[in-house]
Amino acid sequence: MHTTEVIVEKSGALQVTSGIQGLALLKTTQAGFEGFIRDKYTALADTRERIVATEVTASWRYPFESLSGIPLQPLYFTEKYLDVKKVLAETFFGPPRGGVYSPSVQSTLYQMAKTVLNRFPDISSIQLKMPNLHFLPVNISSKDNPAIVKVLQMADLGCSHGFSEFSVYLYGSYSLTNSTGNALINYLFDDDVYLPTSEPHGSIEATVSRIRAKM
């Protein structure tokens, strides 16, 4: 959702702030949590493999100090909102082919804010709020049902060898071969089911601003 706040004081001074609410982002690879400060009470282990999910609330300040400084081109603020939203998502995910590694939400938040300021000189500061939305691995097998069967469509795997679908065990491996004995697919499923949870809760936010030269 696009948000806007405009304050005009009696003196004519102007403050224009735009923002985003409810931008849901999730990545299932190229994410971890490591390099944090440790002490004798730390129980959390470093990891380089986890799901990272958040719901971004962003607000950025424009440098316009009076109504006369507002750009005249139509849809200026709408286009800027769409551009900032795109940059935030692209920085979070990284390039399509390889992604970008995130050692923590805190680090990614800073990179997202810095990229916005570098890309848009007409934005003077940006605030980001990115709470951790945790997805914890769950083993849903039981004594009565030790193996959970998952059905995959061949099209989902980019294959077209005359098979319409096949079954794999969620907590095991499966190998599919063709009539010549060549292996078409080797799949290993591990921690394939995740439970969304709000705990432990982490409220992560920061404001990044340009450094103004002092007169």
- pTM over 0.85? The answer is no
The pLDDT confidence band at residue 59, using thresholds 50, 70 and 90, is very high
The predicted model gives 17-36 an average pLDDT of 89
Please state whether the peptide bond connecting residue 200 to the residue before it is cis, i.e. omega within 30 degrees of 0: yes
Predicted confidence at residue 188, as pLDDT, reads 42
Burial of residue 142 (number of CB atoms within 10 Å: 0-12, 13-18, 19+): exposed
Chain centre to alpha carbon of residue 144: 37
Predicted confidence at residue 147, as pLDDT, reads 57
Predicted confidence at residue 31, as pLDDT, reads 87
Higher pLDDT, 175 or 46: 46
Q: Which of 90-94, 141-145, 187-191 has the highest mean pLDDT?
A: 90-94
Consecutive H or E run containing 54: strand 52-61
**Per-residue pLDDT tens over the stretch 100-131:** 999 999 999 999 999 999 999 999 999 999 99
Distance CA 101, CA 30 (A): 5
**Could you tell me the CA-to-CA distances from 105 to 26, 34, 111, 203 in Å, in that order?**
11, 11, 10, 10
Please name which of 81, 99, 88 lies closest in space to residue 28, comparing C-alpha atoms: 99
The pLDDT confidence band at residue 193, using thresholds 50, 70 and 90, is confident
Query: What domains, with CATH codes, occur in the chain?
Result: 2-136+195-209 (3.10.270.10), 149-188 (no CATH)
